[in-house]
Amino acid sequence: MPIYNPPLRDMHFVLHELLNVSEELKLMPRHADVDTDTINAVLEEGGKFASEVLFPINLSGDQEGCTHDKTSHAVSPPNGFKEAYAQYVEGGWPRMAADPAYGGQGLPIVVNHCLYEMLNSANQAWTMYPGLSHAAYECIRAHGTEEQQSTFLPKLTSGEWTGTMCLTEPQCGTDLGLLRTKAEPQTDGTYKLTGQKIFISAGEHDMAANILHLVLARLPDAPEGSKGISLFAVSKFHVKADGSLGERNPIFCNAIEHKMGINGSATCQMMLDGATGTLVGQPHKGLAAMFVMMNAARLGVGNQSVGLTEVAYQNAVAYAKDRIQMRSLSGPKMPSQPADNIIVHPDVRKMLLTARAYAEGGRALGIYIALLIDKELSSDDEDKRKEAADHVALLTPIVKAFLTDNAWLATSHCMQVYGGHGYIKEWGMEQYVRDARINMIYEGTNTIQSLDLLGRKVLGDNGAKLKKFGQLIAAFVEEEGTNEAMQEFINPLADLGDKVTKLTTELGMKAFGNADEVGGAAVDYLRVAGHLVFAYLWARMAKVALAQQGSGDPFYAAKLHTARFYFAKLLPETAGLIRTARSGVAPLMAMEEAMF
Amino acid sequence: MPIYNPPLRDMHFVLHELLNVSEELKLMPRHADVDTDTINAVLEEGGKFASEVLFPINLSGDQEGCTHDKTSHAVSPPNGFKEAYAQYVEGGWPRMAADPAYGGQGLPIVVNHCLYEMLNSANQAWTMYPGLSHAAYECIRAHGTEEQQSTFLPKLTSGEWTGTMCLTEPQCGTDLGLLRTKAEPQTDGTYKLTGQKIFISAGEHDMAANILHLVLARLPDAPEGSKGISLFAVSKFHVKADGSLGERNPIFCNAIEHKMGINGSATCQMMLDGATGTLVGQPHKGLAAMFVMMNAARLGVGNQSVGLTEVAYQNAVAYAKDRIQMRSLSGPKMPSQPADNIIVHPDVRKMLLTARAYAEGGRALGIYIALLIDKELSSDDEDKRKEAADHVALLTPIVKAFLTDNAWLATSHCMQVYGGHGYIKEWGMEQYVRDARINMIYEGTNTIQSLDLLGRKVLGDNGAKLKKFGQLIAAFVEEEGTNEAMQEFINPLADLGDKVTKLTTELGMKAFGNADEVGGAAVDYLRVAGHLVFAYLWARMAKVALAQQGSGDPFYAAKLHTARFYFAKLLPETAGLIRTARSGVAPLMAMEEAMF
């Protein structure tokens, strides 16, 4: 059976030693009194909840899946999911990052982010149920009317109700401009919504008393395309004036999908049959309002992948230490045994260290961006808010696509460490691979992320956001330029920074001539940019570890080894990617459609 | 529902235009009269069987899986599998590549190989049942006694019986030296075998009247380790003197595995409870005898991956042409539609072309090595046989590991083209990804393949086999050196050839100092070597296509576009791989075990 130990030590390292989170929070009036002890205590409890309550129902949840009753439209998640959710609510976890005005604890996003990494490690499928509630909360908080806020926010905050995002329809996923669900205004100011939505995570279940669906639909006078889409709040049950629940609103689950993974998460086909909803934000401006949720969700998906990478790594390490097979090529390491444990073999270590470097690097990046979001939301300095917002905008597609691609590689490596046993369900490793695969698809495919990065975030403002982030790297390179011990990290970082600058300029020039050049290079470009961000963070982590080398704590030695591994074995991938990015779009477009 | 069209045109291209198979066969007395028309007619019928009989039960077979009866030890494959096997036998397909002396048709391996690609595309899980029968046939033919040959070969040839390889035990997979199954000699010259085997594909089923298990076990006087392993033939039912089947031999299936994929294939835990067997080959030389099967099986696994890549590609292309979503960045391509079909997007094309280049390149390599095996087995010139054997030895680990890694990448890309629908079982795409994953593991993990390539095949004979293959490349580079139109292919091929030579020398020197250097570089090295072989074959295919450019046949234009894509977008991966291979083993070994 798989194991999971919350990686609290590494979280502490990133939060306190790398990023000095509590110092940063002191500069945000709203979070000034959130100190190190508070953060650590919360994470320790969160880790217990994840490992003791959620993790034991992960493998069984995958095997059982969800069930759908065609008559009642009810959906039952796997055994234990409902009870775990009740404990989650009782423990006050949904309240953590919510506004005290609605019953929240007002802790910063960065702490919630760490909690969620552990929930995802323990049980990604289960975490899909509460996962979108906070995003729905953020959306209503930013765009809802006072009545919507007072009706929905306390219930989302307590976790009594959960939330969904209802975007996709059979004929439109990426291209929301094609959506058809209709919203007819009623005389009482509400709307009747009619249409079909698919791929709605946690669209129906019995874990919470009510579900708040945030639904994209078209008003009768809507312009065509993406500028004619409005956002509506549709409650599973009508909410009476006193806040209690009334009749069922006709938004029903018609079927659930049978999927490659996250089988414990109900992926619902939802039918809106004249369901009553209220408008959120301005008419026809629904996509903008929904983007608050979508950006949060994209970071959440990156975090899911860090969680899966961590748990897959932990299990693969345990197996590699335990499994006896073949002798080391350089001579027996366990002479009293009939063979050595497989961790002596260089390629087994390479697979393990790949997962480790991606888990720890992804954790550092995730926490880094979560803290930036806290700055964006809570700093009292407008310039800092603006700067943080720019960094968040730039990094969001990287977090989503780079971390999810990495998890696909890493979980597959961890499974490979098990040999044939990795392919067998009972060992639990293949589930991590299957669960990880969805992360490259949902909340905008990784191709869409790459177009967002290169087309919109980088070339869209003539490289201004990239330059700002590059200044952080340049400052660090400058600062460490005379530190001999740091040269092994600083040199490749500075070199890659130069290459990214040149590549960006080159692609920008090409894109002037042919807009398709962006699409031809974007995926390679995102991966190169991801490595640049990782190289920056790994170099900074190496600096902290170097400073602690004398402490004798093996944690720092391991951090340094992992940093060196990253620079030696993973970063060089950029050499090939830069070549393919530069080779242009012609080799992709030359073939006529009929020849495929 | 998925589609599958046998890629006969591309097979004809490789067989007849690239490799001149019928000319080559004329030089082999045994196959001298196998002409182009015969080959094409056989493949056309084989394609029909694959697409019309096997393909319709692929998705259902995955969903149903196999069932095991604990009381009777019986295993039932999914619905339709047994009937399809009966048709397979009736159609004479198992006889194709077998010796006429045993009822075979005596066709060359290269034709059987093409048939199997199609069977694998249509239904990899089903193809596991007959898949090992031919390998068992080869093993008994090479190492069996006259009695074993006369008893087993006609039945394996007709397909009335199927075969298995029983190697793995719970405590040993890669390291067969650890195996424990015992064989006690009996006074009648037979042996009683006792032990447990796991991961036995097609170990039990009701599709054939009998199953011949080839079982590795230890004799009582066996030396420890891999030099004390013998091979035994163990028949599911005792065979009477008249050839009819008698009592059940106590080799039973205790359980079947629940796996990530190939769910229609029964993966059995086999218990030998004093089962009667006869020795195959010499005592304690079982591994050498089994290697005949294992090498054939490794090539078969590479071929499975080509099959999966092909069928995934075909479906992804159909979806990409059909699915309407977003506008091309360079302006509408389907102005009368609300959006363009997604094949206009450069990255969708990149994913499709990756699969196409890996499918067609893999097919070329697979057919190339199959023809080499025919030369090895059937040439009347001893030097040619020896040369072919050397090429086969060198290429076998590349076919196994490079093609299976490629299929994992390619099937995942094809699934990604479908967006969210790719993750849903009913579309069939995620099954290809799950099925493809086992190919990187079984018949020797891809890490083992890489050690076999770099350690044994390349450095083990001081690069002699590699040099021989390199001479083929050098001759082609020389030959085309003045052909202007070929420079775009010849230059990167020659460049990569030089780099591989240098890298090999460097790694050889390092390995003198530290044997672990082989293990640290082997996986990267294999992938670079795989690209060198692909670059050679793609350049040769481009040459054929260039010569036919005037024909107006779009097949050749597509072949050239795909070749250019390969050189522009896939080959450059080697730039990063060579760097990581050169960065040595230290970054892998520096971390102490306890720090993981």
Query: What are the pLDDT digits (tens) for B377-395?
Result: 999 999 999 999 999 999 9
Query: A32 CA to chain B: closest CA distance, Å?
Result: 36
Question: Tell me, what amino acid is at B575?
Answer: A
C-alpha angle A37/A41/A46, rounded to 5°?
Answer: 150
The whole-angstrom separation of Cα A305 and Cα B210 is 47
Contact (CB, 8 A) for A204 and A198: no
The whole-angstrom separation of Cα B5 and Cα B121 is 9
Q: Are residues A116 and A191 in the same domain?
A: no
Q: Are residues A131 and A189 in the same domain?
A: no
Domain span at residue A532? 462-589
DSSP secondary structure string, A205-237? -SSSSEEEEEEEEB-TTPPSGGGGBEEEEEESE
Q: Are residues A132 and A17 in the same domain?
A: yes
Domain boundary among B284, B307, B323: B284
User: Quick one: angle between helices A429-438 and A286-322, nearest 10?
Assistant: 160
What pLDDT shows up at residue A117?
98
Contact (CB, 8 A) for B326 and B341: no
Q: Are residues B169 and B278 in the same domain?
A: yes
Question: Tell me, what amino acid is at B181?
Answer: T
B372 dihedral zone (left: phi>0; alpha: psi -120 to 50; beta): alpha
The whole-angstrom separation of Cα A183 and Cα A234 is 11
Tell me which H or E stretch contains A310: helix A286-322
Q: Are residues B110 and B216 in the same domain?
A: no
Residues of A marked as catalytic? 443
Is the pLDDT at A418 greater than 90? The verdict is: yes
Is B228 among the domain residues? yes
| Closest C-alpha among B491, B490, B502 to residue B528 | B502
Number of structural domains in chain B: 3
Q: Are residues B126 and B172 in the same domain?
A: no
What pLDDT shows up at residue B43?
98
Q: Is the dihedral of CA B15, B20, B24, B30 positive or negative?
A: positive
Is A82 among the domain residues? yes
Chain A residues with CB-CB distance to B261 below 8 A: 423
The interface residues of chain B toward chain A in range 515-554, judged by CB-CB distance below 8 A, are: 515-516, 518-520, 522-523, 554
What pLDDT shows up at residue A519?
97
Q: What CATH number is associated with residue A75? A: 1.10.540.10
Is B258 among the domain residues? yes
What pLDDT shows up at residue B128?
97
The whole-angstrom separation of Cα A57 and Cα A55 is 5
Chain B residues with CB-CB distance to A224 below 8 A: 338
What pLDDT shows up at residue B295?
87
Does A523 sit within 8 Å of B350, measured CB to CB?
A: yes
Domain boundary among A101, A136, A171: A136
List the structure tokens of A40. 């650590």
Chain A residues with CB-CB distance to B575 below 8 A: 575-576, 579
Q: Are residues A501 and A580 in the same domain?
A: yes
| Closest C-alpha among B401, B403, B389 to residue B443 | B401
What pLDDT shows up at residue A134?
86
- Helix ranges (H only) for B455-591 are 464-479, 487-513, 516-547, 554-565, 573-582, 586-589
| Closest C-alpha among A112, A105, A166, A101 to residue A134 | A112
Does A423 sit within 8 Å of B437, measured CB to CB?
A: yes
The whole-angstrom separation of Cα B413 and Cα B350 is 9
Domain boundary among B136, B154, B170: B136
What pLDDT shows up at residue A453?
98
Closest in B343, B440, B522 to A596, CB measured: B343
Return the half-sphere exposure (C-beta side, CA atoms, 13 A cut-off) of residue B524.
Answer: 31
Percentage of chain A lying above the pLDDT 70 cut: 100
Query: What are the pLDDT digits (tens) for A300-354?
Result: 999 999 999 999 999 999 999 999 999 999 999 999 999 999 999 999 999 999 9
What pLDDT shows up at residue B238?
98
B324-353 b/e (C-beta count within 10 Å ≥ 16 → b): ebbbbbbeeeeeeeebbbbbbbbbbbbbbb
Query: A383 CA to chain B: closest CA distance, Å?
Result: 34
Q: Which of A495, A561, A566, A582 to mutate to test the interface with B (most CBs of B within 10 A)?
A: A561
Q: Are residues B213 and B122 in the same domain?
A: no
Q: Assign A254 a pLDDT band (cuts: 50, 70, 90).
A: very high
Is the pLDDT at A1 greater than 90? The verdict is: no
Q: Are residues B167 and B132 in the same domain?
A: no
Catalytic (active site) residue B592: no
A111-142 b/e (C-beta count within 10 Å ≥ 16 → b): bbbbbbbbbbbbbbbbbbbbbbbbbbbbbbbe
With a threshold of 0.95, tell me whether the complex ipTM lies above it.
Answer: yes
Section A131-140 average pLDDT: 90
Is A150 among the domain residues? no
For residue A313, give the chain B residue with the closest CA.
B596
Q: Assign A294 a pLDDT band (cuts: 50, 70, 90).
A: confident
What pLDDT shows up at residue B105?
97
Collect contacts of A529-532 with beta carbons under 8 A, ≥24 apart.
A529/A398, A529/A402, A529/A453, A529/A500, A530/A398, A530/A401, A530/A402, A530/A403, A530/A406, A531/A402, A531/A496, A531/A570, A531/A571, A531/A573, A531/A574, A532/A473, A532/A493, A532/A496, A532/A497, A532/A500
Chain B residues with CB-CB distance to A260 below 8 A: 423-425, 430, 433-434
The whole-angstrom separation of Cα B11 and Cα A585 is 29
Is B530 among the domain residues? yes
CA A459 to chain centre: 24
Q: Are residues A129 and A166 in the same domain?
A: no
Q: What is the CA radius of gyration of chain A?
A: 24
What pLDDT shows up at residue B70?
96
Q: Residues 6 or more apart from A356 whose CB is under 8 A from it?
A: A313, A562, A565, B596
Q: Residues 6 or more apart from A535 whose CB is under 8 A from it?
A: A489, A492, A493, A496, A566, A567, A571
Is B537 among the domain residues? yes
Chain A residues with CB-CB distance to B7 below 8 A: none
Q: What CATH number is associated with residue B193? A: 2.40.110.20
- Residue B594 carries which DSSP code? G
Is A88 among the domain residues? yes
Is B390 among the domain residues? no
What pLDDT shows up at residue A264?
98
Q: Are residues A55 and A124 in the same domain?
A: yes
Q: Which of B201, B260, B571 to mutate to test the interface with A (most CBs of A within 10 A)?
A: B260
Does A585 sit within 8 Å of B520, measured CB to CB?
A: no
Q: Which of A198, A258, A347 to mutate to test the interface with B (most CBs of B within 10 A)?
A: A347
Contact (CB, 8 A) for A532 and A402: no
Return the half-sphere exposure (C-beta side, CA atoms, 13 A cut-off) of residue A583.
Answer: 24
| Residue B31 three-state SS | helix
Beta pairing, strands A210-217 & A161-166: parallel
Q: Assign A164 a pLDDT band (cuts: 50, 70, 90).
A: very high
Query: What is the mean pLDDT, run by run of 10 residues, along chain B of 596 residues?
Result: 97 98 97 97 98 98 98 98 98 96 97 98 97 90 96 97 96 94 98 98 98 98 95 98 96 98 98 98 94 88 98 98 96 95 98 98 98 96 97 98 98 98 98 98 97 98 97 98 97 98 98 96 98 98 97 97 98 98 98 97
Contact (CB, 8 A) for A363 and A14: yes
Q: Are residues A39 and A98 in the same domain?
A: yes
| Residue B39 three-state SS | helix
| Closest C-alpha among B41, B242, B214, B83 to residue B141 | B214
